[in-house]
Every structure is written in C-alpha cells, then in structure tokens.
A and B are shown apart, each in its own frame.
Chain A
Amino acid sequence: MTNRRKWAVVPGLFALAATAIVLSAYSGASTPQGRAPTQPIPFPHNVHVKTVGLNCLYCHFTADKSPDAGLPAVSTCMGCHLSVGPTRPDGSQRVGIDTLQAYWNRNEPIPWVRIHKVPDYVQFPHMRHVNAGVTCQSCHGQIQDMGAPVHQAESLNMGWCVKCHIGESNPPFRARYDCAVCHY
C-alpha cells in the first residue's frame, strides 16, 4: 500500500465525520422541546394555579400515587364551571368554558393533545418523582405561568433524565441510573 493511497482515505473520513455531525445535530433537534400544539380548549394553567390557587394535585390527582399523573375528568372541570363562567358576560373569556360545557352536555371527553411523552420503552412513574420531592416544574417548566397553549419546556431526552439521576442538574436528587430502572 502506498502513502498516496493511504492519504486518499482522509477526505472520505472527513466526509463521514461531517455527515455524522450533521446527522447527530439533526437527531438532537428531533426533540419536541418547545412544542405547543393547539388544544381543544385553550386551558390557561396560570389562571387556575395563580389566580384561583388550585394545587396541581387537584386536577392531576394521581401524580403522587400512580405512574400516571392523571387527567381531570370532565366532571372535575364542571365541579367549578357549573357556577364559574356561565355568569360572566359574553366575551373571549367564555370561549373555553362554552366549549367545555358543550363537551359536558354531549357527555364526551375532551380530546386533549398530548405534549409530554417519553417513548414506549421508558417507564416513568410519576409518584416516585413527586414523592421524592421533585417539583412538577423540574420536568414541565414554569407551568404555573403558562397560559394557553402549554409548551414542552424540557427536552425529555435521556441525557436530560440522567443528569438529574446522577445528581448533576439538581444536586439534592440522585437516583439509580442503570438502564433497567427505566427501560424494561
């Protein structure tokens, strides 16, 4: 093998490396971070949390006892909105409540669009995190300040999870981080 031919592979390697960089950058961009899909009802978290003063667990009632955080049943919404809303004068503030009542009257669930999702091969038990004192904001961003629509504040990719599990991003917390803690 001659030296010339040896050097000839260098551009090829560069090309491969460049492709790799481009591809990995692209793959990094594939996280839906920042995504804020339109919801069937423009539900404002800020009004419910800061103005009304509801606790997160009032609606997401299983976040501290189940792997699923739980979504409020339409009846939970109507618990307040039977009286809150209908008395307001017609206007933009009523739009969501009207839609809600329409669902309720049709006896239909509200088809919320999912924002926060980890892949199927990841098991994320909400209650372990909530009971360990991990705040909702750690994963869901400043949700109490978000109006409609909610956006995905964090990347939710594995490196982001692991940073917390090894105690790097959120020092008081650390947890097992071998694969089978979440992947099974």
Chain B
Amino acid sequence: MSHPKQPREASRQGASRREFLKVLGAAGATTAAVGCSSDRVEKLIPYVNHPDNTVPGVSNYYATTCRECSAACGIVAEVRDGRAIKLEGNPAHPLNRGALCARGQAALQGLYNPDRYRGPMMRANSDAALEPVTWEVALAALQQLLGTARQSGEAARALFINGHESGSFPVLLDSWLQSNGMPAHLPYDALIDHATVAVNRQAYGVAWPSLRFQNARLIVSIGADFLDTWGATVPQQLDFAEARSRLRDAPRLVYVGSRRSLTGLNADEWIDCRPGSELAIVNALAGAAGSSIESAAEQAGVPVDSMQRLARDLRAATPSMILSGVTTVNAFEVGSAVAALNQSLGNVGRTILPGEPISGFDAAAPVEMVNAVDRMREGQISMLFLRNVNPLFTLPAALEAADAIRRVPFKVSFSSYPDETTELCDLVQPDHHPLESWGDAQVVPNIVGLQQPTMEPVFPTRSTADLLLELGRASGDAQFSAPSYRSWLMERFPGGEAAFAEALQTGLTTGSVGGAGAARPLPAQTRPAPVPLESQTGDFFLHIYPSAVLGDRGANKPWLQELPDPVSKICWQSWIEIHPSAAERLDVVSGDLLTVQSAAGSVTAPAYVYPGVRADTLAMMFGQGHRRASSGEPRAVAGYPEGTVLEGYGRYSAGVGVNPLDVSPAAFDPQSGAFAWTAVKVGVTRAGGHRALVTTEGSARQHGRGIARAMPVSALGQPVDHGGHHFPGDASHEPLPGLRSPLAADAQGAIASGVEHKEKDMYDPEHWSGMANRRWAMTIDLAKCTGCSACVTACYAENNVPTVGAPYQTKRIGMDAIPGGNVAQGREMSWIRLERYYEGDVTTSNFEARVVPMLCQHCGNAPCEPVCPVYATYHAPDGLNVQVYNRCVGTRYCSNNCPYKVRYFNWFGYGEPARPQYAWPEPLNWQLNPDVTVRGKGVMEKCTFCVQRIREAENRAALDGRELEPDEFTVACAQACPSRAIVFGDAADQRWTVAGQVHDERAYHVFEELNTFTAVVYLQKVNHPGEGQPAIEGAGNGAGH
C-alpha cells in the first residue's frame, strides 16, 4: 500500500464488507434453493376423528406420577399434538410442590429412548440370541410355561423381582403370583438407604419421617446426602433451601463424612472423618459411657476443636436435626445411635416428624437379593421374572450374579430397555413406559398419586399389568375379570369413580392403596460376617456413592450423561477422586489412569484430584460402567434401525466409565440387611497412561473475579466496607444500575430515564410497540442454590439443546468414537451451567464451595452485539439479548467477546437428522419443543430467557384481551428449580417479584465493572461460620484470590 487508509475509506471498507457478506448470503440462499427444492413435498395430515379437548398447536397437560425413583413425585406432562414434550413438577403435589429434579425430567428420554425394545424378544434356544417375535408367540410361550409350572409344582420355586414401587401394582402382582402358586414378589431398589429405613422403623415406627429443615437451627448430616440421592431429595431440597433463605434464622449445616458430596459442599463446616469412625463420633456427641470427644476425634482423624464446636453447638441449638446416612457395615448401629441422640435432644416431633411419614421406601432389604442370587446358584429357582430391576448392575460383581441367573432354567424380563440382566433372559415382554401407563403411588399414608398415560405408546409394547390380568383371565380366575388395568384400578380407587375423575385432573386423591406399612422381616443371613474397615489392610478406604445425576438407571439418557456431576463437573466418564496430598504422594495429576484393586477385583479410571475427599480415602461414583456381554460392533437386530444397541444399557452408556461395584465386596449390614457401599480398603497403582477428563470446569478458583460471592451472616444489614478497595463486581453505585441500559434506553423506559444514551440506538425510544416499559430480568439467590443442576436439564428439555457427547457424535474420519469427546473439546451446548468454585485452603478440610448458575446475562450493554458483522445478535425492546439463528453466519466474534462465556457454537450439525452427529435419533426427536427452532450447523446459540414462553404468555394474554399479569409465567430453569432460587420476570414493573428482589442488599452483578448492565442479578450466598471456626480466606464479601 502506497498510502495509509483514510478514516472515511475505512468506513467505506466496512460497508463493502457487509455488501460482500450480502452477496455471500444470496449465494447461500441460491444453493439452498437448488439443493433442497422448495417444491419438496411436505404433507399435512389431519386427524380422522378429532379428539376432544385438544387444539392443534396448543399443549395439553396431564398430571401423573414420576417413577424414576421411589419417592414418586407428582409431575405434569406437557403434551403437544399427541406427544409428551416436557415434564414439570406438579404444583399441587405434597412432595415436590412443582419442582422436579434432573432425573425426573429425563424420564422423557426413557420414553423416547432409541434403544427401547420395540416389541417382544425371545431366544429360540439357550444358545441363540434374543430375536424379535410377535406378541402372540411371546404370550403363547409365557402361557405354556406358566401352565407347565402350575402342573409340575415348579411354580412354587418361581421368583418375581420387581423394581420397588408403592401403590396398587404390587398388590395386583402378588395376587397374580398367588393364583399361579408362586411366592410373593421381591421389591428391590438399590438406591434406598435401607439401613436408615430399618432404623426409622425401629425408632419411629415409620419407614421415612418427614424432615422439617425449616424448624432446625443446626443440621448435622452424618453421611446423609439429602441433596444427592438420600431419601426424597426434591422435597428435602425445597425445604432445606427455604430454611436457608431465612438468612439470619437459617440453620447451620455441618457435614460429617469422608467425602464432601453435593450436600457436603453446601455445608458450612466439613468434619472429614475416617470411614467407619462415625459411631465413635455419634457416641461422643451423645456423651455415651466410655466415649469422649477427644478419643472420637482421634479415631476419626479430625481436629478436636471442630468436634468440640459441634458438641457445643448441638447443646446450644435446639431444635437441631441429625441425619445418618452412612453406608458402612455398621450403618444400622450408627443410625440407631443418631435416632437416640435426636430423641434425647428433643428433635423428634420438631424437626423429624414421624407423624408425617413419606411412603414409598418399604422395599426389600438388599441382602434379600443376595439370598435370592444364592438360591438361583443352587438351582432352587425354576423361573425368574424381572421388571424394572437390573441386579447385574446394582449388585457387586463379587456375588457373581450373572452365573447364578444363567442357572435359572427360564428367565422372563418385562424391561422396556435392554440392560445387562435382560440380556441374559430368554423372553422379553417389554412393558410400557410409566408415561404410557396407568398406575398409582402411595405418596404419604393418606394421599395417592395417580399415574396416567400421557400419550399413545411409542412402540408396540404392552403394559405388564394388563398382561397379568389377561393371563389371569385366560386361566379363568375371577379376580382378574377386569378388562384392563385401568378398570382394575378404578374399581379399587379410594373414593371411587368420582375421585378417579378428579385425580385425572390433579393427579392426587386422599386415601390409601396397596399393602404398604408393614416392615418385611429380615431373612436369616448365610453370608460370612463382613470384615470391619478398621481391621482391613490396604492403602485407601474406598467410598462408593450413587451418582446424584445418574442414579442407578440414568446412564441410557443423554441429558443425564451430559449433565456434569454437580461436584466434579465431569460427564460421560467415571473418575477416581483422590485428595491433592495423596495425588502428590503418588505423583498423579487429574486424568492419570489409576487402578483400584481389592480382593474382589479391580477397576481402572482417570484420577480426579478433589480436595473434598480425605487423604486416606478414594471415592468413586456409581452409575456408569454398564457393559455389553459381547465386544465389537453391536449386533444388528432385524426391524431395528441402524445404530440401535440392544445390548448392555443401550448406545448412550456403551463404553462409558466403570462400575466401582466391581471392586466392592458383597458386604451387608448384618442388622438391617443394607448394602455397605463403603466396605473395603483398596490398593491403588498407576495404570500408566492419561485420559483427559471430560470436564466442563475451567478453573476451580475465582482468581479475584468475584463471580460467586458470599457474605457471612453477621454482615447482613451492615454497610459494605471495602476498606478503600473496589472489588470487581461490587455495586459501586446506588441503586443497582444494572437494569438500566444506555444502549437500548427505550427498552427500559422509566427505569432508564436520566441515563444518557448514545446516538447508536437501534430503536426509537418513543416506540409505539408498548414494550418500552418491559425489562425481562432474573434473580438467582445463591443462598438457596445448592448446585443440583435440575435447571440445566430443564433448559435442555425446553430449548432443544442438543447433547454432543455420545460416542457416535465423536466418530469422524481419523477419530474414534469417544464418550464425551466433544465435551472435552469444549463443544458442549449447555445454555445454562453450574460453575463451582472453592474458597480458602483446599489442602485442609476448612474450605468453602460456591456454586453459581451461569447463563446469558442479557446485558443491557452487551459486548456481543456490536461485534456481530451481520446483526444476528441485537437488543430487543423488552430487554432481551436476542440471537437470530437465520442471520447468524457463524463468525463466533460474539462468543469471543462475551465475558461470561455463555454463547455456544453448533459445530457439527447436531440438529440436522442427515448428519451422523444428530443429537436426537428417532424417536428422541419426538420430544423436541415445537416452539423453539432446532439450530443447524455453524450457528451460534445461547439462552433466550425462554422467549417462546414470553411469547406464549403474551399470546395468551392477547387472546384474553388483557395485559400480562405479574408472575404469570416463568422460564424453564426457574420452574424446575427444587431450591426456588431462580426468579424471572419484568424488572420494570414493581408488581413482579423479581422487581423487588433486584434491590436486595445482597444483589450484585457478575463483572459489573465491565458496564454490561446485566439483566441477571445474583443474590449473595450467606455463610454461617461456626463460633471459633477458622476463617475461610476469601469467604467474605469480596472476591477471593
């Protein structure tokens, strides 16, 4: 260039760049027109007979019951044009009161799982593989078997294992079994804390008392992960968050255990006791004879002063609440001591309410499963029926259950999905999914939750209940004369038909069904007594815990696979948690492969250096490690589309992680029959090699950025003193200015008045659209947020966010199918994520964890907007930062310029059915929300503040000829939140809840110093440090460094 560019020329240059892009755009359109002809024939298919009460394009809502765990929360299924598209909590339900956890929401991906059985399967002979057969053939085979069994007397040696559920089905099942001369069924649920159930039965006479966290002034959790999987997690979380939101009167939470679970991370103090030492701690706290705080502290390997503080607090704070959820072989003993302590402290009836029990936890003791497996091995079982259970996955490998099951001459499964145990069966008669079937659940003793079909069955499966009735009718038994399970239920429904009709609307009725209430007697145990932990040799204790996001059956659902573990932030993988000091001693960094070995076996997984586990303990998550019986390419089955995996637990779990139960001995608590998850000391060796962790975490520290902020409870109401320093994120002016926006001043109307705005307005401030007084905004209360991540799954469900981590989505030329491969490269699409940060010294147990949900902040002055060359992101007059997919050309400048890193780029066409990376193989795509565009390849996307819900509410209001009502609707994350931490609404209208909350004394904006004027306002977490507890550095009002 001979001369420097003149400014004017530069601007011309800019204009011509736009022109150039215009040309490109035109070319693109042309290609599209040629590539997929606009004459493409698309059909509009009407109904033959229009069903009543449905309007095409408008959702219907069906109240039903969640069956993903034994708690049986109430759900409302949104059904559009005959397809269930979203699950939300039922607001009228006494347990979950409108909230729903990630696992419950993901039931939809069970319903639409592409690896579901699409009809019955049968084995021609014992060597043959399972092949599809017709229902006639399958039923005839079962009928013949039952006939023979009845005649030969073999029926008495049959065994039916049913996934534990409360309600009427177990009653029907037992009467059917009885009429066939078979013993009563075995209700099994691997995740119920049976030791606690047994303690509760003995101490209070009920299986599970209500826990009233709100009444407590101090909560001590001894390994009871009430925010993870222990008990009825959603109601517990609702109540706990409510208690914490009282700020000054909130209970302090002390967590006693060898590993900080999600519950542990929410605690104000962690007493990192040695596994197996819990009894000594409880005895010392109770002042039992022969115990002392000092000796207990020594035995537990914890500082004496923290134990003394706990003992002192327990005396001072009444009422308190002590929960035991230990999983060692003496769990019952610990639980009994805790129950006695609660009794003596006067907590029973105040924080622990046996008078308001929760039904649903009366399953068989896990040791009964062991006895059943022993009987199979000895050939005492003539036929085995399995429904909703997968014992091969949930029982330790040391039991060698597979061999035992193989010895049963005939095995029938009613499983909807392929799994390890079903793979061994001779006949598979797939049941409907709970969202397709009738049923009921005993929620609390006098309330029944109704389960009703939300849609026509996806596949030609058949309801097991209907099947039992049909078989019963065929054998001429009059008690099975009901034509269907629905009418059988209706006949017995408490309150009769009227109550049934009402329950169809609300999902609930008063009364009780089923035979719940009586404790099952514990069978005689034939197994050798387990070896106590303290007398074992080995380098590390092994603490195994059920995954809070996967549970025992979540691994075949991509939403749950892709949901980062709330503690480790790892997904699509198994990991071994190891303390930093132990890692240093072994010269291990995160990702190095470790082999954990015990007498029972060994597993190899990458290490994850985690400060929340004791230095002498390793921790592993249970929930991954499903396996197929065969290796190599999955067997193609006739009638199933390509890519179907009818082995193991389906395509999404294949090759993902390991099962820690492979190293676990089959140890059971002799008094309760509960499985001891923490029962072994293991050796650990470096396996050699390194596998990158599939983590969504950037840094575990805030590096002074003030993203997740907290204040001690004593600072509430105090003027903020920065000592002359300005911390990033501190509100520097009064009142909070963030909801004003100089760029789009019209958007905020009144609240923006007085703020000078620049010439570059995109809108006319006097715009006639009437939107000038709206400012959609959100508050997130970090004092309530526990980090459970239910909001994340709600967002995936609502906004058609693709999962990208399935192995098949990684498969490209020169690249293998790696679980989570795309996530490891930072290509996850999660519009909202939970960031987890540590404060304080993580080499000690005295560190604090903070979680902060991070989503598009809908900045009033958004850094992403001015850098977009094609005006694909802009500020709407109602305050939304909008991403226009059809304008976006994928430069990614916006993402580069976003300080919050909440914009996600669609790299591989996850939304395009023709591409191998397609995220919703049929029929998973049936779940897609028709109100939200499925984004294609090369397009940037991000949180929209659920603009489709805003529009829907506006449309509804317009139809009724009225204005929007305050708090009339909310966004998906806020709706699901079991902490009720998220509030959404119009900050420009004082009648909305959010408008009041943004002026809370705890309110702050993340990165306020960037003048982004965000619409998301966080309320600081409130810490409750114990008296004399060493201060946690950075845990105050400022940002930690």
Contacts and interface: CB of A to CB of B under 8 A. Distances in A.
A68 B55 CA distance: 9
B524 interface: no
Given A23-B23, A176-B771, A110 B46 contact: yes
A114 interface: yes
A137 B768 CA distance: 26
Contacts of A125: 951, 955
Contact of A128 (B32, B948, B955): B955
A146 B848 CA distance: 72
A72 B50 CA distance: 8
A120 B29 contact: no
B26 interface: yes
B914 to A, nearest CB: 15
B933 interface: yes
Interface string B267-301: 00000000000000000000000000000000000
B2 A27 contact: no
A23 B42 CA distance: 26
B874 A178 contact: yes
Nearest to A26: B30
A66 B55 contact: yes
Interface string A162-184: 00000000000011101111011
Interface string B9-53: 000000000000011001101101100001101111111111000
For the residues of B in contact with A, the DSSP-based class is loop
Interface in A52-86: 62, 65-68, 70-76
Interface residues of A, number: 53
Contacts of A181: 951
A30 B40 CA distance: 12
B933 A71 contact: no
A102 B885 CA distance: 44
A68 B933 CA distance: 16
A99 interface: no
B874 A71 contact: no
Interface core residue of B23, B41, B768 (most chain A CB under 10 Å): B23
B307 interface: no
A119 interface: yes
Contacts of B38: 30-32, 35
Contact of A62 (B2, B27, B56, B955): B56
B880 interface: yes
A133 to B, nearest CB: 12
B58 interface: yes
A147 B848 CA distance: 74
A16 interface: yes
B948 A123 contact: yes
A184 B30 CA distance: 23
B50 A75 contact: yes
Given A71-B44, A112-B46, A183-B884, A19 B23 contact: yes
Given A20-B23, A70-B56, A183-B884, A109 B874 contact: no
B934 interface: yes
B336 interface: no
B43 A65 contact: no
Contacts of B769: 175-176
Contacts of B887: 179, 183
A92 interface: no
A7 interface: no
A86 to B, nearest CB: 19
A1 B2 contact: yes
A113 B43 contact: yes
A142 interface: no
B876 interface: yes
Given A179-B882, A180-B880, A66 B57 contact: yes
Nearest to B767: A176
Contacts of B955: 67, 125, 127-128
Contacts of A31: 38
Nearest to A110: B46
A14 interface: no
Nearest to A104: B48
A67 B48 contact: no
Contacts of A184: 882, 932-933, 944, 947-948, 951
B660 interface: no
Contacts of B26: 20, 23-24, 27
B886 interface: yes
A121 B882 CA distance: 14
B991 to A, nearest CB: 23
Contacts of B48: 73-75, 103-104, 107-109
Interface in B915-953: 931-934, 944, 947-948, 951
For the residues of A in contact with B, the DSSP-based class is loop
Interface in B861-901: 874, 876-877, 880, 882, 884-887
A99 to B, nearest CB: 14
B880 A30 contact: no
Contacts of A110: 45-46
Contacts of A174: 768
A71 B46 contact: yes
B404 to A, nearest CB: 50
A89 interface: no
A127 B959 CA distance: 8
A65 B931 CA distance: 16
B774 to A, nearest CB: 11
Contact of A68 (B56, B763, B877): B56
Contact of A114 (B44, B944, B958): B44
A73 B46 contact: yes
Interface string A133-154: 0000000000000000000000
A70 B50 CA distance: 11
Contacts of A24: 23, 26
A178 to B, nearest CB: 5
Contacts of B43: 111-114
A154 to B, nearest CB: 14
A68 B947 CA distance: 19
Interface string B945-972: 0011001000100110000000000000
Given A67-B57, A120-B933, A176-B769, A112 B877 contact: no
A183 B874 contact: no
B959 A131 contact: yes
Contacts of B933: 120-121, 183-184
Contacts of A123: 931, 948, 951
Contact of B23 (A16, A103, A179): A16
Nearest to B81: A68
B884 A179 contact: yes
A117 interface: yes
A184 B886 CA distance: 9
A109 B45 contact: yes
25 contacts: A27-B26, A27-B30, A35-B39, A37-B41, A62-B55, A66-B58, A70-B55, A74-B48, A103-B48, A111-B44, A111-B45, A112-B44, A113-B43, A113-B44, A114-B41, A114-B43, A120-B933, A127-B959, A175-B769, A180-B944, A181-B951, A183-B882, A184-B882, A184-B932, A184-B951
* Closest A-B pairs by Cβ, 7 of them: A68-B57, A30-B33, A73-B50, A71-B46, A27-B29, A66-B57, A180-B882
Given A123-B951, A125-B951, A178-B874, 19 more contacts: A1-B1, A23-B27, A30-B38, A32-B38, A67-B58, A68-B57, A71-B56, A75-B49, A110-B46, A112-B44, A112-B46, A120-B934, A128-B955, A131-B959, A176-B769, A180-B947, A181-B951, A183-B882, A183-B885
